[in-house]
Amino acid sequence: MTNGVRVGIVDWTGDNPFVYLKTDPSGDWSSLSLFFRVVFSDKGRGNVILVLENPYEPERAGHRVCLTDNVPLAQDLIERFVKRFGLFRPAHAALAKMEVIGGATFGVSHNYPVSVTEFAETSDGRSASLTWRDLQTPFAADVPANQTQTLEHIMLSIFQPATSAEVRVGGVLLPGNTVERDFFGGRAQSAALAHSETWIKAG
């Protein structure tokens, strides 16, 4: 960092909250879901909701859908980031079966900090939503490149863990609940808002 300016190329910046659910607290994740609201990237602005049910069992049926209003952006995020996120690395076969659907309209409803819901729907009736409840005190994270998921980007973000969360696809509630886990030196449920998340290519 020089004179308060961090050196590096901003790859993308926006929001990137997540909801990770388990039907068995001691078992594997039953679904992994992400939301992106990107306000700057080489692929432009856009929104993405990604839901991957049964992520480690690609032979099993499940909702595997990505709704977006910017397909090139969604595809870029999946290839260069999502596939490199720790929990998604063993899920490449399930990601390969995921349907990417463009033309979605996005919205948010909230009674902050009691609940926040990000939702998307298409003109032919496809829909998905992620809801975070009872949001906790936010904290800032500044993660060096050698500790981020890509190992080549500095990551800055404001995380705000939720006490519980849910995922719906086509109005149907996905099974499972959040679980407590280690999170940036503390303990939190496996769902959080991630405000102003920024990935900077180091060097």
Domain definitions of the chain by residue range: 9-201
pLDDT of residue 1: 56
pLDDT of residue 159: 98
pLDDT of residue 202: 85
pLDDT of residue 5: 84
Q: Specify the 3-state DSSP secondary structure of 68.
A: strand
The two structure tokens encoding residue 12: 């993308």
User: What is the DSSP secondary structure assignment for residue 138, as one 8-state letter?
Assistant: -
pLDDT of residue 4: 80
Rounded distance between C-alpha atoms, residue 140 and residue 143, angstroms: 10
Residues in contact with 38: Cβ distance below 8 Å, sequence separation at least 6, in sequence order: 12, 13, 14, 45, 46, 47, 48, 70, 73, 77
Q: Is the dihedral of CA 25, 29, 30, 36 positive or negative?
A: positive
pTM for this prediction? 0.96
The C-alpha angle with vertex 78 and arms to 162 and 194, in degrees rounded to 5, equals 25
Taking Cα atoms as reference points, which of 25, 71, 10 lies closest to residue 46?
Answer: 71
pLDDT of residue 20: 98
Cα 143 from chain centre: 17
pLDDT of residue 7: 87
Residue 160, judged by CB atoms within 10 A of its CB (0-12, 13-18, 19+), counts as buried
Which residues of the chain, if any, have pLDDT below 70?
1-2
> In the beta sheet, which residues pair with residue 200?
10, 154
